[in-house]
Structure 1
Amino acid sequence: MSQLKCCVIVPTYNNSKTLKRVLDDVLLQTSDVIIVNDGSTDNTKELLKGYSQLSQINLDKNKGKGNALRVGFKKALDLGFEYAITIDSDGQHFPADIPVFLNELKAKEDKNILLIGSRNMEHKSVPKKSSFGNKFSNFWLWVTTGTTLTDTQSGFRLYPIKAMKNINLKTNKFEFEIEAMVRSSWNGIALKNVPIRVLYDETERVSHYRPTKDFLRIFALNTILVLIALIYIKPRDLYRKFRRKGFKRFFYEDFLQSNDPPLKKALSIALGTFIGLSPLWGFHTFLVITLAVVLKLNKVIAFAFSNVSMAPLIPFVVYLGLQTGSIVTGQEVSFALSDFTEDFGALKQFKTYLIGSIVLAILASTLFGAIGYFTLLLFKRKNTSVSNG
């Protein structure tokens, strides 16, 4: 623990039945313990008098687990710690599993990582609602970060608090643990599960999770995080990747050498081209990333081809849309100012452009997709024959 500059943080609220056992077991592992009493109204404060050797924070009012963890993180940083293992005080976790986190961290060359304890959610003591909630949370973490985990709701974790100190975490309740994972991932911190044991003893355990209120808070947070991911984070990461590699390397590694089959790549080209030429200005990035995720296509390729309507090409794209609309509708188009201002000319031209741009998007996406498919198929066959030779 001392070598890794790691402490244990125990947030607690009205868990006096199990708190003593948890603390005694934690002390078998380390004396670097921070207890955050989140405004408990039972005899927690009296119980903690027996642990005066430990760092304690007694909050006057219950503000939620997220707030308690943030307060604990700040205290740990002030004391010079760089990592913090958090463990719930309701007795469901086994402090004897603390070495599991330490061994994993020690083995990692890149220690910029957040470790989440993975419980056996199929264990007979695990409530069904907990298992469902965990699967729900796992799915949304994958959508927002692209990381697949088996358990995202366990409170038994190792946080890289020094690496996280500049991340602006806003939530105060149970949803904090989801926000911490997502925003950490967005800031380059890896997420990984480690196996832990779990015990749900309903005779002792006191849960403060409110099924309706807390589920709605978590759902609202996931909705916000998904929007941020689709509108900003994923396009940002793709753009950074493109800039870091340069066009030639990006095209070769992410386009030609990607493990996706030619058909999937071709469909990704078609999707990107269609969205890029569609008249849905301002929503191109959001739509192409969303649809690529939903349709399980290659996000990198789809995003790259959606930039067919990048700023310098916009006048040309609009012109092609108008000309295509003119051919389809038979409506003559003109760029004279009088034709826009007189006799609803602007509306007529706009209608022509909408129809034309959609037709153009369909034709171009079909053409580019087909060219991409046969080009990629040829490239794949060539590589296969070279390998065999």
Structure 2
Amino acid sequence: MRPRRLLTALPVFNEAQHLSPVLDEVVAHADDVLVVDDGSTDATAELLAGRTDVRVVTHEPNRGYGAALRTAFCYAKKHRYDVLVTIDCDGQHEPQRIRQLADLCRDGVDIVSGSRYLDPSLAGGLSPPEQRRRINRAITAEINERLGLSLTDAFCGFKAYRVRSLGPLRLAEDGYAMPLELWVQASHHGLNVIETPVPLIYLDEKRSFGGELDDARRRLRHYREVIDRAMARIAVAPPLRSDDPCAGLLASGVAMPSS
């Protein structure tokens, strides 16, 4: 049996402050590493140009967190990886757990999702910003009720995917709430989802979501709209083209590198 091919991908937008130390840690604990630079306007591109240990796909202009994740999904499919781990570049995930997540993604498990709330002992006495925790709790409960899932953390970006299980997904949300659309699609296609505990780390409690999403009420309303929109799309989605490895996943206009 051939060894499983593992890709670790980081969606990045204006992360020059954290980029180098995070990537140093990631490459120490991963095999192949992909950075999706989502149209950064700070020094991110220059820092990436100086590295030879990661692969880079660049969006121009900025398309959003969800679009960056879709590009990572497409890259993993196109290059025939077996497992994809996604990890954020803001220092809030521990790269030494990459292989732990990847190893759990076997024996019929399609998605392994990190949860910051599954094991309170990993929080080290920390508490998340109350507004964020309240919204996460509300949306996670709604996701579970509407989709029959048993999640404790609907928003954690630290995940492992069995790449072949991404095939039937049709993802359209470009923004930060795309993972909610992912849960709708995962439930619809009967994917086997498990959670694994990861530490609760908040380095920047005042980090902006961007624009009107910085307002908690608008953010909560937006999340619910994304869930409703994703569920409505299920009923009208046309069949995928079997000859397209990125059908339903790739943000339009993004050129994929050949290696």
Residue of structure 2 in register with 1:211 after alignment: 214
Change (3 A) 1:183 1:21: same
2:104 aligned with 1:101: no
Change (3 A) 1:114 1:49: same
Q: Which residue of the other structure, out of 153, 156, 170, is the alignment partner of 1:154?
A: 156
Give the secondary structure class of the aligned counterpart of 1:222. Answer: helix
Equivalent residue, structure 2, for 1:119: 116
1:71 aligns with 2:71: yes
| Distance in 2 between residues matched to 1:116 and 1:137, nearest whole Å | 16
**SS of the residue 1:170 aligns to:** coil
Residue 137 of structure 2 aligns to a residue whose secondary structure is: helix
Shift in Å at residue 12 of structure 1?
Answer: 0.5
Letter in 1 for 2:38: D
Query: 1:312-327 residue pairs with structure 2 within 5 A?
Result: none
Q: Which has the larger radius of gyration?
A: 1
Kindly indicate which of the two structures has a greater share of residues assigned to strand: 2
131, 135, 138: which is aligned to 2:137? 135
**Residues 144, 225 of structure 1: 8 Å contact kept:** no
Match of 1:91 in 2: 91
Q: CA 1:18–1:207 in structure 2 vs 1: closer, same or farther (change >3 Å)? A: farther
CA distance in 2, matches of 1:207, 1:3: 40
User: Deviation at 1:99?
Assistant: 2.5
Distance 1:215 1:41 in 2: 28
Supply the distance in 2 between the matched residues of 1:21 and 1:118 (Cα, whole angstroms): 23
CA distance in 2 between counterparts of 1:226 and 1:169 reads 11
- How is 1:295-310 mapped onto 2 (pairs within 5 angstroms)? none
Who is 1:42 aligned against?
A: 42
- Kindly indicate whether residue 5 of structure 2 is the aligned counterpart of residue 5 of structure 1: yes
Residues 296-352 of structure 1: CA deviation (Å, up to 9, x unaligned): xxxxxxxxxxxxxxxxxxxxxxxxxxxxxxxxxxxxxxxxxxxxxxxxxxxxxxxxx
CA contact (8 A) 1:38 1:60 kept: yes
Q: Which residue of structure 2 aligns with residue 173 of structure 1?
A: 175
Q: How many residues align?
A: 226
Identity of aligned residues (%): 26
**Which has the bigger relative contact order, CA under 8 A and spacing at least 6?**
2
**Tell me, what secondary structure is at the counterpart of 1:70?**
helix
Equivalent position of 2:257 in the other structure: none
Shift of 1:160: 2.4
Three-state SS of the structure 2 residue aligned to 1:28 is helix
Deviation at 1:143, TM superposition (A): 2.3
Q: Contact (CA 8 Å) 1:116, 1:194: kept in 2 or not?
A: yes
Give the counterpart of 1:191 among 158, 175, 193.
193
Query: Which amino acid in structure 1 is aligned with residue 204 of structure 2?
Result: E
What is the distance in 2 between the residues matched to 1:56 and 1:99?
21
Q: Which has the higher helix share?
A: 1
RMSD: 2.4
Maintained 8 Å contact 1:100/1:194: no
Number of the residue aligned with 1:314: none
The residue identity in structure 1 corresponding to 2:69 is: L
In structure 2, the CA distance between the partners of 1:130 and 1:165, relative to structure 1 (3 Å rule), is: same
Alignment partners' CA distance in 2, 1:11 and 1:117: 16
- Asked whether the 8 Å contact 1:174–1:214 carries over to 2, the reply is no
Alignment partner of 1:51: what SS?
coil
Offset of residue 227 of structure 1: 6.2
TM-score, normalised relative to structure 2: 0.79
Say whether 1:182 aligns with 2:184: yes
Q: Which amino acid aligns with 2:73?
A: F
| Counterpart for residue 225 of structure 2 | 220
SS across alignment from 2:105? helix
Instruction: Find the aligned partners of 1:174 and 1:132 in 2 and give their Cα distance.
Output: 17
Shift of 1:59: 1.4
What runs of 5+ residues in structure 1 fail to find an aligned partner?
233-389
CA distance in 1 between counterparts of 2:192 and 2:11 reads: 24
